[in-house]
Amino acid sequence: MQATTTPSQNPRIGLSQGDFNGIAYEIMLKAFSDARMFESLTPVLYGQSKAFSYYKKNFGMDSPNYSLTRDARQAWDKKFNIINIIENELKIEPGVPSDVSAEMSALSMKRATEDLRNGYVDALVMAPDNAVLGQSNSQYLLSFYKEETPLQLIVNGSMRIGLATADVPLSNAIAQLDIRFLVARLITLASALKTDFRIGSPKIAVMGLNPHSGSRVVGDDDKVVKAVGDAQRKGIFAFGPFSPSQLFVNGLWKKYDAVLALHYEQGVLPLKMLSTEGYAYYWAGLPVVCAAPLHGPGYDIANQNKATPDSYRKAVFLATDVVNRRKEQ
């Protein structure tokens, strides 16, 4: 009975449900089937208890059990809390993205973001959705913070790679890379390393765009050189430009607290090659804490008990750690 418990004292971590026709519920169930997950945080899913029960039954899982609540502020410790975003029964079609599943993903994100901005939850972890069928979770979140200069930061243990530009065509990414833009990204990254990772004087390696970056300046890398110089004059310990082979082949990246990659694949590829246990990202430079696993909805393996929760679990713990570090300020 809920009357025997008290409202959560741990960080309340809001969870968007993502696309319920993908692997979102599977990775949630697998992550929170471990009771140790509840020792340091209290999850609040903005989703559908019927979808939760559907996948739990399909995978033959005994845990986690859930508790319904209407208000995130009344979430319970040691329980998987669910706020039902809709009462209607909806058709679940694993592996088939649909307009309905996209609509429910968007509604979940809307409800979760409202509570995040109101302080009813301490952080938000976004489950994989389908951006093709609508606005992505990240786009929706960032629409409320147009005055900020957020930076996507991918994390796995001591490896932290900031992405100066989003997942866009390479030509679009290069067009954004002027000196002022890069300096702003370095300021955001340095500030996040201090505030969210408690690194006093972070050192940042900056990647170049062209071959032999660092040994000689080629093409657009003169902008990187000038941006690094401007950042250093602002008190930021930035170095570079470096080529990917310089940084990652012999482990040079380990001498730095973070790496700033100039486009998406430049940062994601080495991390995926060097990390074997999942990786998560969060949006540095925002007043709210928001993290997510670095993978998509996985329609090809949906409902087949093949999805691994490593990245999702890392996203949950990353969000919790950042919340706790910010509270220590």
Per-residue HEC secondary structure of 189-251 comes to HHHHHHHHHCCCCCEEEEECCCCCCCCCCCCCHHHHHHHHHHHHHCCCEEEEEECHHHHHCCC
Which pLDDT value is given to residue 218? 53
Q: What's the confidence (pLDDT) of residue 244?
A: 87
Strands 42-47 and 237-242: unpaired
| pLDDT on residue 309 | 95
**Whole-number pLDDT of residue 4:** 44
Per-residue pLDDT, 220: 62
**Residue 99: its H or E element:** helix 99-118
Cis peptide bond upstream of 244, omega within 30: no
Dihedral, CA of residue 20, residue 81, residue 329 and residue 185, to nearest 10:
10
The pLDDT tens digits of the residues spanning 179-193 come to 999 999 999 999 999
Helix (H, G, I), strand (E, B) or coil at 181: helix
> For residue 7, how many other CB atoms are within 10 A of its CB?
15
The one-digit pLDDT tens for each residue of the chain (329 residues) are 344 445 567 999 999 999 999 999 999 999 999 999 999 999 999 999 999 999 999 999 999 999 999 999 999 999 999 999 998 888 999 999 899 999 999 999 999 999 999 999 999 999 998 866 556 888 899 999 998 889 999 998 889 999 999 888 888 888 889 999 999 999 999 999 999 999 999 999 999 987 655 555 555 678 899 999 999 999 999 999 998 888 998 899 999 999 999 998 898 888 888 876 778 999 999 999 999 998 899 999 999 999 999 999 999 999 999 999 999 87
Strand order in the sheet with 290-293: 66-68, 80-84, 42-47, 12-16, 123-125, 290-293, 280-284, 151-156, 159-163, 258-261, 203-207, 237-242
CA-to-CA distance for 154 and 267, rounded, in angstroms? Answer: 8
308 half-sphere exposure, CB direction, 13 A CA radius: 8
Q: Is pTM beyond 0.85 here?
A: yes
Q: Give the three-class secondary structure for 7.
A: strand
Q: What is the pLDDT of residue 169?
A: 82
Q: What is the DSSP letter of 295?
A: S
Which residue's entry shows tokens 């809709």?
86
* Complete domains list, the chain, with CATH: 1-146+286-329 (3.40.718.10), 149-285 (3.40.718.10)
d(CA 21, CA 306): 14
